[in-house]
Amino acid sequence: MTKRIKLIGSAIGNCGRLNGCESSPYQISNSLANTEGILLDSDVVAYSGGSHDVLAQREFFIKVAHHAECAISKGAFPIFIGGDHSCAIGSWSGVAYNLQKQDKELALIWIDAHMDAHRPDTSDTGNLHGMPVAHLLGHGHKELTSILTAMPKLKPENIVYFGIRSFEKPEEDFLQSLGVKIYYQHMLNNETFEAEFLAEFKRLAQLSSGNVGISLDLDGLDPTEIAAVGTPVDDGIGSGVFFDAMSKININDLIAFEIAEYNPSLDRDHRSMQYMLQLLKLLVYRIRYDAE
């Protein structure tokens, strides 16, 4: 019996540097159906508040989190499509809440050029797409650290970063004070990434009893290959290298997957969209046919 998949879109784009990400869930789900013939049960939640309207953001993330929690409760595998990376607050709050009700823990691999670990008092811009990890760890706006439950959604030892190469000192100091494990991009290359990634995935799977999530910010990848992001940073993980690594993880230990920060207005050659479609096609196939 194949496992059911639920696509959950977070149509939010004004919490980042450039608008445009909010249309990503619609375009990706349509392209999956029209060009790849992959029809997925999908729900898209649209954000209509201001870029710094914490109460509107809270309402939005609660809706996304409810969709995530409901999907897992019904035995479906959630694929989250952002949206700027603030969407992760809703996505992983819902997953974590479901696990916490079962006395289980979420583990998370965060692929990104940035740490996304600012708190409101350390961010120069106040843009929420630079703060999701801090909020998932329980630090930041109380309205956003308490989505579905007041408990932190992540323990510091349960998150691992890959691809980091652009950050501010307050973020790094904060994460280091908590003991969060970080693989800076200068520590990696296309030959070493896969081995480190697979080893960390396996370690987190053991730590969380098989409840590992992956959140992919497209700017974590090489911008010469994947350009349709609002905050590109030189270097990055090779897109093919990440694809190959995803083909080798134990799919039974993956509880959910997220893509964020795709901006269709910047995808002039459509290479970024084509990459995402192939990555999602791989993921859908593995979830449906490789999972036990």
Task: Tell me the catalytic residues.
Answer: 85, 112, 114, 116, 129, 217, 219, 261
For residue 264, CA distances in Å to 27, 84, 103, 275, 279 come to 8, 12, 39, 13, 17
256's enclosing H/E stretch is strand 254-260
Look at the block and give the residue holding tokens 């690594």: 245
Give the count of beta carbons closer than 10 Å to the beta carbon of residue 169: 8
- Burial code of 175-200, b = ≥16 C-beta within 10 A, e = fewer? beeeebebbebeebeeeebbeebeeb
Cα separation, 5 vs 9, in Å, equals 13
| Neighbouring C-alpha atoms within 13 Å toward the C-beta of 233 | 19
Cα separation, 138 vs 169, in Å, equals 19
Q: Which of 33, 47, 42 is nearest to 67 (CA)?
A: 42
Q: Which of 19, 6, 32, 5 is nearest to 276 (CA)?
A: 32
Q: Is the peptide bond before 9 cis (omega within 30 degrees of 0)?
A: no
- Burial code of 205-222, b = ≥16 C-beta within 10 A, e = fewer? beebeebbbbbbbbbbbb
